[in-house]
């Protein structure tokens, strides 16, 4: 469609944490919140000439580190977390398709009855055809977070940016946790290396360094504010830009 708006980037990867799906419930899937996220995705796909992929977390259902902390084998706990991401991916897929947005789910762990296996070239072809591709199952390996999966998939998909949506009310990276420190100040732009050196808890270190090694910018922003993704794609300064 020639009348679609020009996006700041041609291909983006959106990271949605599992906790975002729970909303204020704190656990499980809140249908209203999923609809809100899906509507944002469908709107930008309709209005902008942009390819959009999504990586979902699973922390609203199960967190591998929590299981490991309770004495469970860490690898086993992480595999359980990967299954949780598949549940969220299917919920988001269903909601997107109800909104008329064609979608494919690809999983790093084979579960062929419900989703395609992750195949890089097929995923790129889906994006080229205007489908939203939702990646579930993390990297398919224990000991890696879904933040790292987002960085990895972004590089593999030849995306130009990772949009990491926060659900906790913070609208970017701060000098310290603004929920605990009233003197914390928001950082508008920072380098990958500075995030690591200053120990800022934006994404896990593996994800940050993978993005740094591949010159992949990251935008940290509040996903729960309607229109934020649209504003970012339109080139407005939203959240924190990591370059």
Could you report the per-residue pLDDT of 28-47, keeping only the tens digit for each?
A: 999 999 999 999 999 999 99
Coil vs helix vs strand at 199? coil
Token output for 49: 């000439």
**pLDDT confidence of residue 60:** 95
How are the residues of the chain apportioned to helix, strand and coil, as percentages rounded to the nearest 5? Answer: 40, 20, 40
**pLDDT confidence of residue 168:** 77
At how many degrees (to 10) do helices 74-98 and 31-47 cross? Answer: 60
Could you identify the residue written with the tokens 């504010």?
A: 225
**pLDDT confidence of residue 2:** 54
- Res. 169: pLDDT tops 80: no
- Res. 1: pLDDT tops 80: no
Could you identify the residue written with the tokens 């310290």?
A: 176
pTM: 0.95
The whole-angstrom separation of Cα 33 and Cα 225 is 11
Which helix (DSSP H) or strand (DSSP E) does residue 64 occupy?
helix 64-69
Comparing CA positions, the residue from 75, 66, 59 lying closest to residue 20 is 59
**pLDDT confidence of residue 188:** 96
**∠ Cα 118 119 125 (to 5°):** 120
Comparing CA positions, the residue from 133, 122, 146 lying closest to residue 51 is 133
Q: Which residues contact 180 (CB under 8 A, 6 or more apart)?
A: none
Token output for 38: 């899906």
How many percent of the chain have pLDDT more than 70?
99
Using CB atoms within 10 Å of the CB of residue 200, give its burial: 0 to 12 exposed, 13 to 18 middle, 19+ buried: buried
Could you report the per-residue pLDDT of 130-140, keeping only the tens digit for each?
A: 999 999 999 99
The whole-angstrom separation of Cα 143 and Cα 33 is 28
Comparing CA positions, the residue from 153, 165, 19 lying closest to residue 84 is 19
Coil vs helix vs strand at 227? coil
Would you tell me how many other CB atoms lie within 10 Å of the CB of residue 144? 20
Average of per-residue pLDDT across 91-113 = 98
What mean pLDDT is reported for the chain? 95
**pLDDT confidence of residue 132:** 98
Domains of the chain: 5-242 (3.40.1160.10)
Average of per-residue pLDDT across 155-175 = 92
């Amino acid at each position: 469609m020639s009348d679609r708006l020009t996006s700041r980037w041609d291909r983006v990867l959106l990271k949605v944490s599992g906790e975002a799906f729970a909303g204020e419930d704190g656990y499980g899937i809140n249908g209203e919140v999923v609809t809100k996220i899906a509507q944002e995705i469908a709107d930008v796909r309709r209005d902008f000439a942009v390819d959009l992929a999504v990586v979902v977390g699973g922390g609203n259902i199960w967190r591998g580190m929590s299981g490991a902390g309770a004495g469970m084998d860490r690898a086993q706990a992480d595999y359980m977390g990967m299954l949780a991401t598949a549940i969220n991916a299917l919920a988001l897929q269903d909601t997107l398709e109800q909104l008329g947005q064609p979608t494919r789910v690809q999983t790093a762990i084979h579960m062929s009855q419900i989703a395609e296996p992750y195949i890089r070239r097929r995923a790129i072809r889906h994006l080229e055809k205007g489908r939203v591709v939702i990646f579930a199952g993390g990297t398919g390996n224990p000991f890696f977070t879904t933040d790292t999966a987002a960085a990895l998939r972004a590089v593999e998909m030849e995306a130009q940016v990772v949009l990491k949506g926060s659900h906790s009310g913070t609208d970017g990276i701060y000098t310290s946790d603004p929920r605990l420190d009233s003197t914390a100040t928001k950082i508008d732009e920072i380098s990958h290396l500075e995030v690591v050196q200053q120990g800022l808890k934006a994404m896990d270190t593996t994800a940050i360094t993978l993005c740094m090694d591949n010159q992949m910018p990251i935008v940290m922003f509040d996903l729960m504010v309607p229109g934020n993704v649209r504003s970012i794609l339109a080139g407005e300064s939203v959240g924190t830009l990591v370059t």
